[in-house]
Structure 1
């Protein structure tokens, strides 16, 4: 999978880009967890989400936020990271101008950034938020949430407790015009560490959900 370097707001950003042969393939960007807690684009969940989207026919980009790996700049409390994500989406769309659908997926801190990007970009078709840290960050900006999507978490998540995710989902369910699908993986922690019991089922739910949505829009 080719390494790419593309311009960001504070200098170059480092990514991995996996294109499809079809010029009108849907697009996806995948956002990694908190940079100050070891989050990179090579996080296992981010890596697996990347390949899940690729296997579903997406051209996919994952990248390192500013200050991570070979990406320039310094951590900016989420403000600059949101700008990085917007720059990544701009880059991906510029080299895939025939694509009509774009998705954003994020894990933990990346889920929070992804949901903010959703508010900025009406061209985003759908989203996947894995283990959104609703206890740590304010998600009230989702008023209204502009697109339907999947929120998925583990019932044994101690970093982002399920009750906070459930509260977030309940608020989103009150909004009209969108459908929020919420799935919980029994016994899974924040990182879905158990490959067979947690990681694979999580990825399976993501694949089922996104495939269904793609089928609906291409009929």
Structure 2
């Protein structure tokens, strides 16, 4: 699949965000579009991460540094969405998005879940290994904001039967940062409507040897939409 590196200016501090943009080349006027946020940079999150590579996107040479509150990263994610939806340069090279898949793995899922869906097209949220038990450490005094955002997101897609889009949460039952019991308690009253959760037995937070299963699960979910 042809891929090109594109640098997008952040809306927050004007630093450049490195993105990888790929398209299968099949001629069409509209196509589903996915944007994936990478794991936590200070702990090694980058574009070559095994999960990110499997789902096909990432960041590598972006400038700037981790904000410690998640707010700058949230602005970066929004800048990428704005580029995809409104940039003439993007429109000249790629099909118009027919639906948007807002994805994130680990820290990236915390950022992705805080993004409000554009009203112009259906949005699907893929949240892998959401850092439920360590949000406080990743976002410091903004942790309550991110927790309220994901609650708002799940409420929206669970309670509105006519909502366009949905949410899929995937986690491993051996996650090192959030126990299976913690996920179960959190999700007990969150599933329903357009919100779905899947647990993978034997998988931990890093997903080594489970990458293909993860991709298969995501494809199955999307094919059902």
> TM-score, normalized by length of structure 2?
0.77
Q: Say which of 72, 85, 88 aligns to 2:77.
A: 85
Does the 8 Å contact 2:50/2:211 carry over to 1?
Answer: no
Does the 8 Å contact 1:107/1:131 carry over to 2?
Answer: yes
C-alpha displacement at 1:136, in angstroms? 1.3
Structure 1 residue runs of 4 or more that deviate by more than 6 Å after TM superposition: none
Who is 1:132 aligned against?
Answer: 130
SS in 1 for 2:170: strand
Who is 1:15 aligned against?
Answer: 19
Structural mapping, 1:89-128, within 5 Å: 89-94=81-86, 95-96=90-91, 98-117=96-115, 119=116, 121-122=118-119, 123=121, 125-128=123-126
Structure 1 pair 140/163, CA: closer, same or farther in 2 (3 Å)? farther
C-alpha displacement at 1:135, in angstroms? 0.8
Does the 8 Å contact 1:133/1:165 carry over to 2?
Answer: no
Alpha-carbon distance between aligned partners in 1 of 2:48 and 2:105, rounded to the nearest angstrom: 12
Count of aligned residue pairs for this structure pair: 191
> TM-score, normalized by length of structure 1?
0.79
List alignment gaps of at least 5 residues for structure 2. 136-142, 158-165
Who is 1:169 aligned against?
Answer: 187
Structure 1 pair 120/204, CA: closer, same or farther in 2 (3 Å)? closer
Structural mapping, 1:1-219, within 5 Å: 1-9=3-11, 10=13, 11-20=15-24, 21=26, 22-50=28-56, 62-64=57-59, 69-77=60-68, 78-94=70-86, 95-96=90-91, 98-117=96-115, 119=116, 121-122=118-119, 123=121, 125-137=123-135, 138=143, 139-145=147-153, 146-147=156-157, 148-173=166-191, 178-194=193-209, 198-213=210-225
C-alpha displacement at 1:163, in angstroms? 2.1
Alpha-carbon distance between aligned partners in 1 of 2:125 and 2:114, rounded to the nearest angstrom: 11
Alpha-carbon distance between aligned partners in 2 of 1:108 and 1:73, rounded to the nearest angstrom: 20
Does the 8 Å contact 1:31/1:63 carry over to 2?
Answer: yes
SS in 2 for 1:46: helix
Who is 1:56 aligned against?
Answer: none
